[in-house]
Amino acid sequence: MYPPETPPTCDSCIREPRRQSRYAPSAYSRLNLCDECIKADIRCYSCQVRAAFSDGRLLRGTVKVDDRDYRCSYCASPSLVESQDAADKVLYSTRNWLDKWFARHGEEEKILAKLSISVTLVDAATLATGDGEKGTILGRAIWTRGSTDFQIKIIRKLRVVPFLETLAHELTHVWAYRTGNDGKEAIEGFCNYVAYMALGTVHGKLADDARRREAYMLKEVDIRYGGDFKAIRLGCRSETANPVTFFKKMA
């Protein structure tokens, strides 16, 4: 005889026995939520899973970074980019990776290395206002026409992997601007494609994080950020395909 199955309790409110959860655990926070907690309408800024209620209650493990900025239990856990020094290190390695990636695909060498590019950690509220490339909701790149100074803003307290992904996306915008490809409709999809390729290079202890983030990117439904990204990915599946040429030929 097997012991009777215990009905699953809600991972957030733990009150039991709850009605059996009809919902799959959230992809990122891994919380199994009950009928009440699934109504939490404020999302994690980093991964968009449910994180809090608008009346102020937080789901288990959620951290409120500021008024508009919440992190689910997963995205709030350690390995966060909190210092300028940590941000600069990722900027340096990601920029070099992109320069090599573009050179490998027939582009001029060291385009990004020749520019003055800085990365600043900002609050979500700051990021959401002002001019510049709209970016992903996690970052944006800002420059003035003709200048060689580029500022990338990324929200504070991201985990290293989404930080790297956001940076790769924004650096691709900078590359596109420098090479005269920034006016293309498919630019957001292309930036996401390059960011996705950058995630593919992440192994070791951050590998699990990177694989989750890749899955998250593939679920993007927006026609530009998701649709164009998937079109480039499908069109460039063969070893010999050149995604840069592919992108340039797109409308």
Among the listed residues 29, 111, 31, the one whose alpha carbon sits nearest the alpha carbon of residue 76: 29
Beta bridge partners of 151: 118, 142
Q: What is the dihedral of CA 23, 36, 77, 192, to 10 degrees?
A: 60
Half-sphere exposure of 156 (CA within 13 A, CB side): 16
One of 31, 40, 42, 47 touching Zn ion (CB under 5 A): 47
In the complex, least distance from residue 74 CB atom to Zn ion, rounded to whole angstroms:
5
Site for Zn ion in 142-161 (CB under 5 A): none
Instruction: Please tell me the distance from the alpha carbon of residue 193 to that of residue 200, in angstroms, as a whole number.
Output: 11
Spell out, one character per residue from 185 to 204, where the chain touches Zn ion: x when CB under 5 A holds, - when not: ---x--x-------------
In the complex, least distance from residue 88 CB atom to Zn ion, rounded to whole angstroms:
21
Q: State the maximum Cα–Cα separation within the chain, in Å, rounded to a whole number.
A: 76
Q: Which stretch binds Zn ion (CB under 5 A): 44-52, 60-68, 105-113, 204-212?
A: 44-52
Both tokens of residue 226?
């998701």
Assess 75 for contact with Zn ion (CB under 5 A): yes
Beta bridge partners of 118: 151
One of 81, 98, 135, 236 touching Zn ion (CB under 5 A): 135
In the complex, least distance from residue 215 CB atom to Zn ion, rounded to whole angstroms:
13
Binding footprint of Zn ion on the chain (CB under 5 A): 10, 12-13, 28, 34, 37, 44, 46-47, 72, 75, 135, 188, 191
